Structure 1
């Protein structure tokens, strides 16, 4: 589940990820942040150009403004239209950048479009430093047309080079106005609009010459203008707009004409790249200058100068910093080697960067939970997060009633948590792991990993533990509640689940050990602050999409209301989602949306939460979890729990977590006469909290670490209710000793399927690695047998990522540690390691066995497939392809043969790397895509398309120089 929290868009990510795509700013069309979240920014970390991001006061004003439909605009004559556009904001036209019959009619009228261009030219002549004369709205209406024209043949005339030239007179009028300069807010915004318009159309050498003065002014007075948000945005907009055209929008003859003639435009960029500010507030400017130095260097009169600047930058800027990596990427991508002839090895740089920023590793639960952290995080911080996960997990399972994973063998069998020291260091995640950092944290279900950073109270109203709890809920949702991988499947279509998943994450983040689930003051504070201008209904929330303002908070309130006052509704929703019954889910949402009693109750709950704000707090784990538990007999602990909770059919399990062990005890509780499912749940919830409190009253201090939940509701033959009840807590090592984390230092050897191999681990050789080559898709089982039965374990890695585990032992049979995984063709590595402190040798036997997997067969992409002639396939619709692009591999092409008309859905899910997308072409028209991503939720990019008989080519391509691992699914609707 690729979900991000607390959006904070960085300019570097916008710039570098947009231009490289070679597309007309699809991601920026509505000028919305790239993140899937719109949480309020509580502490701005630096000046970042969040384009068209409205303040709360602006949002309040916009909410009161009249909206104008495109169908209404179509009824106006051209003079009426341009006069209206001059007076209103583009935000009052919700259908901009959306293709429908009305927008097609609007932009098909060439005279209408020309009248807007003419009006823009006239306003360009007449604007002043305080009156923009409607330029911003004119530009956005035009940009909407160019954007739609790129994706829809009906409007493709807008993209014809000759038609794009029609904008030149307007550009020249704007840039020749005496007020076209950095200065007032209005002036800066006009420059920003000009840059955006250029990015969607074209630019001439004369206009570039005028823009050079703006670039020079900004660079010469950098100390002044870099502190001005609007001025910085203006500089960036011009840089990006002209850069986009020069990279993607000129033919060879135009490029020849411009080469050597725009040094005045490039010089300020080169200077900023070479002498940029690396402070947290301004480093994004330096990053962008370095990026465009590489991309535009060929236009300079001395074509070697850019590489020279980038080479110097790698020596000047701090090693492993953003500028250092940006310069290295540009050298590798553009020149292949630096000015001294040295090759750049980005993959090795990433490995070293991870060691630099994430040197610590902490392992819990026999390797099932792994933390990789910066050096400033303490062991205490990490252990608190581990125990926070247990509190959240307990309350989550109580509510959903299930603790069995929905699919086995998924990457989330091992949960990896990556935590950087600071928000600034978190920005390096884009370089090291390939995931954008315009968020406060993000969980990637495809790798079973979430990423975040430590923060101070000055940097965020949300603590690290709050963020961790939120993201951990997403892990639980994906593993136990929502079928399939995040974003895939019908249940995710049409934005069905944002309110459920994000509101649920905010809700369960308030979990406690013995006091249920509390509303967090931080979230209720957001509602209290927003209540004066937002008036969401329950129906609004159940249909909220990513980008809806404050929907995290209001969705939390809706789920909190259901939990406290209407548990049956929440349970029905949980059940339909877990059973993947989309039709039943839609029926429930439709029914609940019309229910007046739900709406009344929801509004009352909102008022109650606001009234209770001052009395609320933020639930965090207690210090009891950190105490060293007294050495005691585990059998006595199990006996006491069984007695207090009156359990039968008790089973126990133990796992090692380095400095301590943990236990899990499962049993059956049979209660009194059933009063109905939901009354029985309330009684069991009360009883379970009572069990925990009674245990805490006993003398052993380890009971203060015990959490509990119950699942699998049923009634007995004699009408009594029953649940499976689970307890989890902390144990000391029997001898009271402490252990150290494994420190693998593997040596390669090979292992063959079905053939046992032996090894020995000892203090001088604490780990051993075995290479496993898999030829076909199979369900594989790894089995390790030891004489001692403990102190040794194993982890499995795929060759594409030697740092993140994908399987580990999840079953113990005597002295055997067993785990399984779904393998695809490729190379895997099994690492055996010791986690104890004993000095003796630890011999073991390792064996991997397998059989043909009964699960869906993946088609493994094979190289070379960079052209239609080399395309993999033809493949049938219904195939799921697994592929990767590394180094200079920029695209993969797959052929699909269609025999009959049918409606299909294509979904791309990047598992590593973010700068990747797809397009579908019909063999009869290789120049125009017939389909491209229409629905973007998190990392998932999907669209529907009605295919006809013939051959289609699916292009999966990357637009950032990074390693990409992905799956792309085609299926019938």
Structure 2
């Protein structure tokens, strides 16, 4: 069954499951600063649900225990530490300068400031990143790298970030920024050559790791994947346990998989590997030699090696060389062995996508069915409308989960005041899939359900008008929680109820106009209010008064971030339900009939900015502890 569209709560994870798919070969897409190497493949995989309308990913916060091992959380910590610099960062300070003055401005800025340049648009983008500016900065990278001391004392990291930002912005708007040609190619090669030839480039230290990791990603940003395969091989063969105490050194090693992954769409790299297949052996040997990382927070290093080896099966000229190496990894691992299952699944998935006709050779025929049967043996019916499929839940845990969701029905209908399912909605039953941990989710959910797993769970609505369609929420036990909890259970269950009783059509239909404020804000509102929990993050955020209500009406998955999506979505929906219930009733009337333009007119014209001042006042009271009565039924 085609699962169709859906929603995901993205929480940064130690490992990303890549969901490969068929589609046009992408132009080199430099990763934005917030994309971490372990998440990158999932974020950029062509045809991946994370990048298509098949399933839309948004972001929420990680539990504290996981955040300590995640690049996004670390980036947030760095940003918080440099928040004053970021707040004072003025794009005009960069656009007004050229030549040496521009280089000095970059070096004098904090990394948090340079990081903001990934989001510039329009005339600022051209002023910042036109080729002449990029050549100047690439030449500065070369000059600075030639005397590199193994740390950021020369502000080289800011220079690399600026170049990465330029490639990223130019990719998104080549006409606005202008084309990049031979001059920049030569200049960037000079910078990369100087850095990787420097005597301190491979120092195993945290001080070196960040610049090294960013420079490895720059290889891909500049589409120099083939030229620097020796860098990839050196980092993979050089890795040992001494790297593990340095977060950024681990990141640097993992960044090599970005170069390899994206290299599948760089013909020069495929030609280079065909001429010298030693990269294939390096990938195989890394995966085979580091099975001890499976089950740890470094597991992604091993599984990514296996995946990237297997991904080369898509190329006719490489298949004969890859096949025995992938087969050997599968022969020495097992789906039934927790100590090696993650590697087996990763390689098996690549063979299933790129060499399926040889599944007998690999022992991977009927892969999805085999993995599901082995990993999800528990089946429990809560009601005619709800069932749970799980990895290890006890009878008590199953009953608790059922009771939590079924009890939410009455609360939801009391708030939504609906008259039953919307027209043409046949999603009469929901399947909740619960893996035993976030790591199990990352290991198995991708191959079974074809989803990205660098998140905190995913709701797949499918086509609600199709008879027999089965919507599905895929989740996991929150292993860090003191008490049993399926992570995001009530938020995602609200998505199911909201889609069935409030939003006409499927996910793609729901997104025809900006509805994210409602979709995510309402899910947060119901989840917290039903459980009678304070949304402490949102209440703290209210004090900042960052957004007028009228601005939140325009939230889309493309223009938002974690805070705007969840905390501000919650605040906006709670305010409207409590202060303007008649407007909410009118809005939902439009949503239920699929009259998106009428709903849009209500928000942007009828309401417009009329409530902005009152909303600001309410935010002040809420941040002081008086948010009103949440459960407005």
Q: Quickly name the TM-score band, shorter chain normalised.
A: 0.7 to 0.9
Shift of 1:343: 3.7
Shift of 1:473: 0.7
Going from structure 1 to structure 2, the CA distance change for 1:77 and 1:422 (only over 3 Å counts) comes to closer
Greater share of residues in strand: 1
Shift of 1:234: 0.3
Give per-residue Cα distances to partners, 1:906-956, cap 9 Å, x unaligned.
xxxxxxxxxxxxxxxxxxxxxxxxxxxxxxxxxxxxxxxxxxxxxxxxxxx
SS at match of 2:474: strand
Distance in 2, Cα, partners of 1:136 & 1:19: 35
2:11 equivalent to 1:7: yes
Going from structure 1 to structure 2, the CA distance change for 1:332 and 1:57 (only over 3 Å counts) comes to closer
2:251 equivalent to 1:233: yes
2:42 equivalent to 1:28: no
What is aligned with 2:472? 449
2:198 equivalent to 1:198: no
SS at match of 2:75: coil
1:444, 1:450 within 8 Å by CA — same for their partners in 2?
Answer: yes
What is aligned with 1:327? 347
Distance in 1, Cα, partners of 2:33 & 2:318: 38
Give per-residue Cα distances to partners, 1:68-93, cap 9 Å, x unaligned.
56566333232211111122246435
2:204, 2:243 within 8 Å by CA — same for their partners in 1?
Answer: no
Going from structure 1 to structure 2, the CA distance change for 1:57 and 1:177 (only over 3 Å counts) comes to closer
Give per-residue Cα distances to partners, 1:420-452, cap 9 Å, x unaligned.
222222121111001111222221111511111
Q: Which sits farther off after the overlay, 378-387 or 165-174?
A: 378-387
TM-score normalised by the chain length of structure 2: 0.81
What is aligned with 1:859? none
What is aligned with 2:428? 413
Greater share of residues in helix: 2
Distance in 2, Cα, partners of 1:20 & 1:284: 25
SS at match of 2:158: helix
Counterpart of 1:129 (choices 143, 150, 153) is 150
What is aligned with 1:392? 408
What is aligned with 2:561? 548
Aligned pairs (5 A) from 1:355-754: 355-366=373-384, 368-374=385-391, 376-410=392-426, 412-427=427-442, 428-446=444-462, 447-456=470-479, 459-460=480-481, 464=485, 467-489=488-510, 492-493=512-513, 496-510=514-528, 517=530, 519-521=532-534, 523-524=535-536, 526-527=537-538, 534-539=544-549, 541-544=552-555, 546=557, 547-551=560-564, 552-564=566-578, 566-579=580-593, 580=595, 581=598, 582-588=600-606, 590-594=608-612, 596-608=613-625
Going from structure 1 to structure 2, the CA distance change for 1:518 and 1:149 (only over 3 Å counts) comes to closer
Shift of 1:48: 6.0
Going from structure 1 to structure 2, the CA distance change for 1:610 and 1:570 (only over 3 Å counts) comes to closer
Distance in 1, Cα, partners of 2:409 & 2:361: 48
1:388, 1:465 within 8 Å by CA — same for their partners in 2?
Answer: no
Going from structure 1 to structure 2, the CA distance change for 1:307 and 1:468 (only over 3 Å counts) comes to same
Distance in 2, Cα, partners of 1:154 & 1:185: 38
Counterpart of 1:114 (choices 112, 130, 135) is 135
Going from structure 1 to structure 2, the CA distance change for 1:168 and 1:213 (only over 3 Å counts) comes to same
Shift of 1:45: 4.3
Shift of 1:350: 0.8
Shift of 1:98: 5.0
What is aligned with 2:465? none
Distance in 1, Cα, partners of 2:224 & 2:206: 24
What is aligned with 1:96? 118
Give per-residue Cα distances to partners, 1:37-88, cap 9 Å, x unaligned.
3322114449866469523452363355345565663332322111111222
Aligned pairs (5 A) from 1:153-192: 154=175, 158=179, 160=181, 164-192=185-213
Shift of 1:198: 0.8
Shift of 1:324: 0.9
Higher RCO, Cα 8 Å, sep 6+:
2
Distance in 2, Cα, partners of 1:462 & 1:6: 22
Aligned pairs (5 A) from 1:720-799: none
Distance in 1, Cα, partners of 2:488 & 2:314: 44
2:334, 2:344 within 8 Å by CA — same for their partners in 1?
Answer: yes
Larger Cα Rg: Structure 1 or Structure 2?
1
Distance in 1, Cα, partners of 2:170 & 2:75: 27
Distance in 2, Cα, partners of 1:498 & 1:317: 43
Distance in 2, Cα, partners of 1:95 & 1:191: 20
Give per-residue Cα distances to partners, 1:207-266, cap 9 Å, x unaligned.
443554333221xx2x22234321111001123225533x32234xx7556645473x55
Aligned pairs (5 A) from 1:259-270: 259-261=274-276, 263=278, 267-270=281-284
Distance in 1, Cα, partners of 2:461 & 2:354: 33
RMSD: 3.8
